[in-house]
Amino acid sequence: MTVRAPVSDLAEGERILSGETSRYLCRVRRLAPGDVFVAFDPDARTEADATILDAKADAARVSVGPLRPARVVAGSDVVLVYALAKGDKVDDVVRDATELGATRVIVTRTERAVVKASGDRMKDKLDRWRRIAEQAARQCGRADPPAIEGVFDWPEALERAADCEARFCLDPRAVHALGGALAPAIERGASIAFAIGPEGGLSAPEIESATASGFLPVSLGSFILRTETVAAAVLGAVRVLSSG
């Protein structure tokens, strides 16, 4: 199995890797001098074969070969607007979103969300989610982990997804089923956004706000699903329909 690792500002030639990447390659994967891995630049969507020259666990020295376009990247834009949730739910959603091809995850505050973190604590959470996205991209072979944005109030989160051509708000009371609404958007190659509320659901004013912002309320059926299950289901639907 090919070993992959994110490297910012990837360029051909020798360089010293960051401590985190060095530890992953030299301690976790136990690479030694002469071993080759694939370095990928999440921002530039490029990758290259790189050879370990010095396997220091805190500052590995490597030789990066010629750059090439990354082979595995997301297709059309798929944006997930996800309500801040307690526990590790956002961790799981970020990981699944990366593996299922989301290009952005926008974390939002909602009326019924239990978590109210802010300031330094929220910054720490954002840093953690970005690391999780990079790790998931490394694991699944993807070169462009999704951008993790937040934490925004509901109206601003919706506005940040306004450039998507097809926008859906998950609501178990909705008249429209997701499948019938999503398939035409996939067929025409539209960029897509999903807005998902907290465990207690979105309030009526939040649904109205989403509708006014161009989000179509849609349902996944009569089952009561956890929010992280909803996220995986809608992103999985996009992946299946996009695969032909």
Give the model confidence (pLDDT) of 174-225 as tens digits: 999 998 999 999 999 999 999 999 988 899 999 999 999 999 999 998 888 9
Query: What is the pLDDT at residue 104?
Result: 96
Tell me which residue of 212, 94, 186, 200 sits closest to 149, measured CA to CA: 94
> Residue 219 and residue 159: Cα distance in Å, rounded?
22
pTM for the whole structure: 0.82
pLDDT at 160: 97
Q: What percent of the chain has pLDDT over 90?
A: 68
pLDDT at 93 over 90: yes
- Sign of the CA dihedral with 10 first, then 90, 151, and 192 last: positive
pLDDT above 70 for 45: yes
CB 146 within 8 A of CB 158: no
pLDDT at residue 60 tops 70:
yes
Q: What is the pLDDT of residues 105-159, one digit of tens each?
A: 999 999 987 666 666 788 899 999 999 999 999 888 888 899 999 899 999 999 9
Structure tokens that stand for 101 in this block: 């091809």
Residue 120's pLDDT is 72
pLDDT over 70, % of the chain: 97
Identify the residue with better confidence: 168 or 75. 168
DSSP string, the chain: ---EEE-TT--SEEEEPPHHHHHIIIIIS---TT-EEEEEETTTTEEEEEEEEE--SSS-EEEE---EE-SS---S-EEEEEE--STTHHHHHHHHHHHTT-SEEEEEE-TT-S----HHHHHHHHHHHHHHHHHHHHHHT-S-PPEEEEEEEHHHHHHHTTT-SEEEEE-TT-SEEHHHHHHHHHHTT--EEEEE--TT---HHHHHHHHHTTPEEEE--SS---HHHHHHHHHHHHHHHHT-
Average pLDDT along the chain: 91
pLDDT at 229: 95
Least Cα distance to 210 among 155, 163, 164, 149 occurs for: 155
Quick count: other Cβ atoms within 10 Å of Cβ 20? 14
Give me the half-sphere count of Cα atoms (radius 13 Å) on the Cβ side of residue 89. 20
User: Please, which pLDDT band fits residue 70 given cuts at 50, 70 and 90?
Assistant: confident
Vertex 231 angle, CA 228 and 237, to 5°: 140
Contact 220, 201 (CB under 8 A): no
Domains identified in the chain and CATH numbers: 4-69 (2.40.240.20), 78-242 (3.40.1280.10)
Residue 244 is predicted with a pLDDT of: 62
